């Protein structure tokens, strides 16, 4: 019996020792180190807003997503009559060559990354909006930030609807993977009208709650940007009265003017200039360049033939003869838009505005390049100038576009002064005034004024003459009723079990 008692005591002592070793109550509550979670940072909401802007820089065209990178350039400029694929015949023949030639497969990688890139950004916007909803910040500040994010979301959907037509309208953050796989909003297409209604809703909110440019921080979305973007959206909806009213309001705001020299618009010194309404901002971060991945390098003049020089890029997005021929004699914009490679046999080469000499054609791959994507290694300021992919602000909306929208709406509605608007643009280009401008005159002016600025393809689709313009430019593979839109990525259709529907003709 005593033995039993003794054993019992011993066991108790043992048990005590064992429990002592593990009794510290919250021993296992060790927070994740270095991985900030949503509860850790009171300023998170503001940071997420900046993150949405950052997502506009996506240029991972063969990977996770593209918003303003090579894929964007491909479906805006290269697909249009402004530009050809360029580079060597085989380089990127599959994603880019197929887009240029309208032999686009539903597995086209660039279509897929444009889809994923835009939805990445929209996801970032929805996350930011969710955090802003209960962030402990000043109400005015909160409203302004919400308005900025909704401006960006509206812009992103505007691009999506122009690329793909009606798309899944995702306006919230999924709770988890199950939620995302259950709610049809994530994998069925909303109609074009529903998407536009959402875009208008977002942009109207932004316009109502943002300040004029002069009262806003540089680079942020502002009232003028929202109003101009909304005007452009209404132009695609052919609501001409709205277009006219909104553009007139922008013009009357006194915030904007045309720069004196057209070519200055794309110089670093004139980023966020008086003409600028909305730009994708690039610069310096962490002692390195911060820009849209591959935006400048993919369009830079490429070495070819005899070689012998350190080239500027990969040589894509080359202006076509159609574009060259679109300019009237004496139009200053031609030389500001196109780098012409010297093919005269004199080997003089081409000297660019900063004095850089591009060799003549026998050392260069292509005959024309996009001047609006050029950056100067010597005369502009970069953190890492030796990087060929130097960052460059992309001019998304500028005052000339607003003037031309106003002219077009004015003709449709019989209001305002269309001639004056068009002539302001023409005078800067060194051209004679026109009187009695027609819709076709405005379209022509838009073509040359905004050439290589990611507007042309969507513009001719909007104008309802995409097939005829394309066929005239020799792009005979363009099929009306099919090629106005890109194919919905095959991978996503499969993943939805067929619930996501393909565009006609693909």
Partner 1 sequence: MTARPFSLQAVKNQINMRRGIGVAVILALFCSAAFSQTRNVEGTVQDAADSTGLPGVNVVVQGTSRGTSTDLNGHYSLDLNEGDNTLVFTFIGYETQTVTVGNRTTINIALAQEVKALQEVVVVGYGEQKKSDITGSTANVDGKILAEQPVLTATQAMQGKLAGVQIISSGQPGSSPQVRIRGVSTALAGTSPLYVVDGVLTDDISNINTADIVDVNVLKDASASAIYGSRGANGVIIITTKKGKAGDMHISYNNSIGIQQATNLVKMANAAEYDNYVQAASGSPPPASDYNTDWYGVILRNAWQQNHNISLSGGTDKSTYLLNTSYLDDQGIVIDNDFKRWTIRLNTEYNIRKNLKFGVLSSFGNSINENGFNNLDIDAYGNIGSVYNDAYRASPIVPSIIDGKYGNTSAYQNVGNPLLDIKDNKIRVNDNRLQGSSYLKFEPVTWLSLKSSFGVDWDYSSNRGYYYKFLADDQTFLNAGGNQQRTRSNLAVSQTQWMHWVWDNTATITRQFGKNNLVFLVGTTAEKYTNQYLYGTRDDVPADPNLWYIGVGDANTSKNNGTGDAWARNSYLARLNYNFDEKYLLTANFRADGSSLLPSQNRWREYPSLGLAWILTNESFMQAQHLFDMLKLRASYGKVGNDKIPTGSYSQVVTLNQAYAFNGSSSAATNGAKIEQIVDPNITWETTVETDGAVEFGLLRNRLTGEVDYYNKKVQNALINVPIQRTVGDIDGLVLTNVASIQNRGLEANLNWRNTINDNWSYHVGANATLNKNKVVALNGGQAIYGGSIGAAQGFTTYTDNGLPVGSFYVLQVIGVFNSDEEVSDYKASDGTVIQPSAKPGDFKYQDTNGDGKIDDSDRIFAGSYQPKAYFGLNGGVNYKAWDLSLSLYGNEGNEVYNGKKAVRIDARDNVESDVVYNRWTSQNHTQTEPRANSGNLPASTYFVESGSFVRINNVTVGYTLPKDKLEKVGIQSLRIFATSQNLLTLKKFSGFTPELPGTPLDSGIELSAYPTTRTIAMGVNITL
Is position 53 an interface residue for partner 1 (rule: CB under 8 A)? yes
Is position 36 an interface residue for partner 1 (rule: CB under 8 A)? yes
Is position 355 an interface residue for partner 1 (rule: CB under 8 A)? no
Q: Looking at beta carbons only, is 64 or 468 nearer to partner 1? A: 64
In the structure encoding, which two tokens stand for residue 224, read together?
């003028």
Q: Looking at beta carbons only, is 51 or 416 nearer to partner 1? A: 51
Host H or E run for residue 416: none
Site for partner 1 in 237-256 (CB under 8 A): none
Q: Looking at beta carbons only, is 279 or 449 nearer to partner 1? A: 279
Is position 49 an interface residue for partner 1 (rule: CB under 8 A)? yes
Distance, in Å, from the CA atom of 467 to the CA atom of 422, rounded to the nearest integer, reads: 26
Angle at the Cα of 473 (from 90 to 372), degrees rounded to 5? 70
Site for partner 1 in 156-195 (CB under 8 A): 167-168, 170, 174, 176-177, 180-181, 186-187
- Residue from the set 139, 140, 252, 286 that interacts with partner 1 by CB under 8 A: 286
- Minimum gap (Å) between residue 495 Cβ and partner 1: 6
Give residues with Cβ within 8 angstroms of 334, minimum separation 6: 324, 327, 448
Q: Looking at beta carbons only, is 80 or 159 nearer to partner 1? A: 159
Q: What are the backbone angles phi and psi of residue 316, rounded to the nearest 5°?
A: -90, 170
- Minimum gap (Å) between residue 489 Cβ and partner 1: 7
- Minimum gap (Å) between residue 381 Cβ and partner 1: 6
With beta carbons less than 8 A apart as the criterion, state whether 423 and 433 touch: yes
- Minimum gap (Å) between residue 49 Cβ and partner 1: 7
Q: How much helix, strand and coil, in percent to the nearest 5, is found in the chain?
A: 50, 10, 45
- Residue from the set 103, 105, 133, 285 that interacts with partner 1 by CB under 8 A: 285
- Minimum gap (Å) between residue 17 Cβ and partner 1: 6
| φ/ψ bin of 330: left (φ > 0), alpha (ψ from -120 to 50), beta (otherwise) | left
- Residue count of the chain, please give it: 506
- What single-letter DSSP state applies at residue 473? T
- Minimum gap (Å) between residue 147 Cβ and partner 1: 16
Distance, in Å, from the CA atom of 180 to the CA atom of 398, rounded to the nearest integer, reads: 38
Is position 123 an interface residue for partner 1 (rule: CB under 8 A)? yes
| φ/ψ bin of 433: left (φ > 0), alpha (ψ from -120 to 50), beta (otherwise) | beta
- Residue from the set 192, 290, 420, 480 that interacts with partner 1 by CB under 8 A: 290
Is position 279 an interface residue for partner 1 (rule: CB under 8 A)? yes
Is position 433 an interface residue for partner 1 (rule: CB under 8 A)? no
Q: 3-class SS at 394?
A: strand
The piece of 3-11, 196-204, 324-332, 348-356 that touches partner 1 (CB under 8 A) is 3-11
- Minimum gap (Å) between residue 213 Cβ and partner 1: 13
Four-residue CA torsion sign, 235, 213, 159, 420? positive
The piece of 75-83, 123-131, 404-412, 454-462 that touches partner 1 (CB under 8 A) is 123-131
Q: 3-class SS at 24?
A: coil
Is position 268 an interface residue for partner 1 (rule: CB under 8 A)? yes
The piece of 46-54, 76-84, 324-332, 468-476 that touches partner 1 (CB under 8 A) is 46-54
Size of the site for partner 1 (CB under 8 A): 93
Angle at the Cα of 291 (from 286 to 297), degrees rounded to 5? 125
Task: Please choose, from the candidates 26, 101, 156, the residue with its C-alpha nearest in 3D space to the C-alpha of residue 476.
Answer: 101
- Minimum gap (Å) between residue 335 Cβ and partner 1: 25
Give residues with Cβ within 8 angstroms of 198, minimum separation 6: 154, 157, 169, 171, 190
Is position 427 an interface residue for partner 1 (rule: CB under 8 A)? no
Q: Looking at beta carbons only, is 121 or 363 nearer to partner 1? A: 121
- Residue from the set 217, 354, 427, 501 that interacts with partner 1 by CB under 8 A: 217
- What single-letter DSSP state applies at residue 182? H
Q: Looking at beta carbons only, is 305 or 430 nearer to partner 1? A: 305
With beta carbons less than 8 A apart as the criterion, state whether 247 and 231 touch: yes
Q: Looking at beta carbons only, is 48 or 397 nearer to partner 1? A: 48
Distance, in Å, from the CA atom of 425 to the CA atom of 421, rounded to the nearest integer, reads: 7
Is position 204 an interface residue for partner 1 (rule: CB under 8 A)? no
- Minimum gap (Å) between residue 345 Cβ and partner 1: 26
Q: Looking at beta carbons only, is 92 or 271 nearer to partner 1? A: 271
Site for partner 1 in 64-103 (CB under 8 A): 64-65
Q: 3-class SS at 26?
A: coil
Angle at the Cα of 459 (from 458 to 461), degrees rounded to 5? 65
- Burial level of 26, CB count in 10 A (0-12/13-18/19+)? exposed
Is position 282 an interface residue for partner 1 (rule: CB under 8 A)? yes
- Residue from the set 261, 271, 322, 445 that interacts with partner 1 by CB under 8 A: 271
Distance, in Å, from the CA atom of 501 to the CA atom of 439, rounded to the nearest integer, reads: 35
With beta carbons less than 8 A apart as the criterion, state whether 121 and 149 touch: no
| Residues 363-392: x where in contact with partner 1 by CB under 8 A, - otherwise, as a string | -----------------xxx---x----x-
């Amino acid at each position: 019996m005593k033995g039993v008692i003794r054993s019992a005591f011993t066991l108790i002592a043992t048990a005590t020792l064992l429990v002592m070793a593990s009794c510290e109550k919250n021993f296992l509550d060790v927070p994740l180190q270095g991985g900030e979670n949503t509860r850790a940072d009171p300023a998170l909401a503001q940071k997420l807003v900046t993150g949405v802007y950052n997502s506009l820089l996506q240029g991972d065209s063969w990977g996770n997503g593209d918003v303003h990178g090579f894929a964007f350039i491909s479906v805006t400029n290269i697909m249009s009559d402004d530009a050809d694929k360029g580079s060597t015949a085989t380089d990127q023949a599959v994603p880019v060559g197929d887009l240029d030639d309208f032999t686009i497969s539903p597995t086209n990688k660039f279509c897929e990354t444009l889809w994923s890139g835009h939805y990445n950004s929209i996801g970032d916007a929805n996350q930011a909006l969710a955090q802003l909803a209960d962030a402990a910040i000043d109400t005015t500040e909160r409203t302004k930030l919400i308005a900025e994010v909704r401006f960006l979301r509206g812009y992103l959907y505007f691009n999506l609807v122009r690329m793909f037509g009606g798309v899944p309208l995702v306006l919230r953050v999924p709770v988890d993977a199950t939620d995302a796989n259950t709610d049809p909003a994530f994998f069925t297409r909303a109609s074009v009208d529903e998407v536009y209604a959402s875009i208008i809703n977002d942009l109207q909110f932004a316009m109502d709650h943002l300040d004029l440019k002069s009262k806003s921080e540089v680079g942020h979305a502002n009232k003028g940007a929202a109003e101009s973007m909304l005007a452009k959206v209404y132009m695609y909806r052919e609501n001409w009265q709205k277009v006219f009213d909104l553009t007139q309001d922008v013009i009357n705001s006194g915030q904007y003017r045309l720069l004196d020299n057209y070519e200055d618009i794309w110089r670093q010194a004139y980023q966020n200039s008086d003409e600028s309404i909305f730009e994708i901002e690039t610069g310096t971060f962490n002692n390195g360049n911060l820009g849209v991945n591959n935006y400048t390098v993919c369009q830079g003049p490429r070495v070819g033939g005899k070689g012998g020089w350190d080239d500027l890029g990969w040589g894509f997005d080359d202006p076509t003869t159609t574009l060259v021929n679109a300019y009237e004699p004496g139009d200053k914009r031609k030389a500001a838009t196109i780098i012409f490679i010297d093919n005269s046999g004199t080997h003089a080469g081409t000297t660019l505005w900063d004095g850089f000499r591009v060799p003549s054609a026998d050392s260069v791959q292509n005959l024309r390049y996009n001047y609006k994507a050029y950056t100067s290694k010597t005369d502009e300021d970069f953190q890492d100038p030796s990087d060929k992919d130097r960052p460059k602000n992309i001019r998304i909306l500028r005052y000339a576009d607003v003037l031309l929208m106003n002219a077009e709406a004015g003709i449709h509605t019989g209001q305002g002064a269309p001639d004056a608007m068009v002539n302001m643009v023409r005078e800067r280009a060194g051209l004679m005034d026109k009187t009695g401008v027609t819709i076709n005159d405005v379209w022509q002016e838009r073509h040359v004024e905004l050439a290589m600025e990611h507007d042309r393809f969507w513009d001719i689709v909007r104008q309802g003459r995409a097939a005829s313009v394309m066929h005239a430019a020799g792009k005979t593979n363009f099929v009306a009723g099919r090629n106005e839109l890109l194919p919905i990525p095959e991978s996503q259709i499969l993943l939805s079990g067929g619930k996501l529907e393909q565009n006609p003709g693909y």
